[in-house]
Amino acid sequence: MPFREAMEAKYRDILAKYIEEQKESTLYLAQKFSRKSIENQVTPEEIISLHKMILQEMYPEMPTYVTHSFDLLLEIMLGYGFAYREHQSLRHQQKELRSEIEIAANVQHTLLDTEIPVVEGLDIGAISVPARLMNGDYYNFVQDENQCISIAIADVIGKGIPAALCMSMIKYAMDSLPEHRNEPSILLENLNHIVEQNVDPSMFVTMFHGIYNYEQHLFSYASAGHEPGFFYDGKKKEFTEITARGLMLGIDKKTKYTQYEKKIEPGDMIILLSDGVTECRTSEGFVEKDTLLTYIDKYLHLSAQEIVNRIYKDLEQIQNFQLRDDFTLIILKRSV
137 binds another protein (CB under 8 A): no
DSSP state of 249: B
In angstroms, give the least distance from the CB of 224 to another protein: 7
- Compare residues 95 and 324 and give the one whose CB is closer to another protein: 324
CA distance 22 to 321: 50
Question: Binding another protein by CB under 8 A: which of 125, 130, 225, 229?
Answer: 225
CB atoms within 10 A of CB 25: 9
**Phi-psi category of residue 147: left, alpha or beta, with phi > 0 → left and psi -120 to 50 → alpha:** left
In angstroms, give the least distance from the CB of 131 to another protein: 9
Strand partners, 271: 230, 331
- Compare residues 44 and 250 and give the one whose CB is closer to another protein: 250
Extended strands (E) in 196-295: 205-213, 218-224, 230-233, 238-241, 260-263, 269-273, 281-282, 285-286
- Report CA 105 to chain centroid distance, whole Å: 9
For the segment 195-224, give every residue that binds another protein (CB under 8 A): 201-204, 206, 224
- Compare residues 60 and 201 and give the one whose CB is closer to another protein: 201
In angstroms, give the least distance from the CB of 203 to another protein: 7
In angstroms, give the least distance from the CB of 201 to another protein: 6
228 binds another protein (CB under 8 A): yes
For the segment 311-330, give every residue that binds another protein (CB under 8 A): 324-325
For the segment 278-297, give every residue that binds another protein (CB under 8 A): 279, 286
Question: Do residues 51 and 16 lie in contact, with contact meaning Cβ atoms separated by under 8 Å?
Answer: no
Please name the residues in contact with 70: beta carbons below 8 A apart, sequence gap of 6 or more. Answer: 48, 51, 52, 55
Q: Using DSSP, state whether 166 is helix, strand or coil.
A: helix
Size of the site for another protein (CB under 8 A): 25
For the segment 236-255, give every residue that binds another protein (CB under 8 A): 245-248, 251-252
For the segment 143-172, give every residue that binds another protein (CB under 8 A): 155, 157-159
R_g (Cα) of the chain, nearest Å:
31
In angstroms, give the least distance from the CB of 156 to another protein: 9
CA distance 34 to 44: 10
In angstroms, give the least distance from the CB of 308 to another protein: 21
Binding residues vs another protein (CB under 8 A): 155, 157-159, 201-204, 206, 224-228, 245-248, 251-252, 275, 279, 286, 324-325
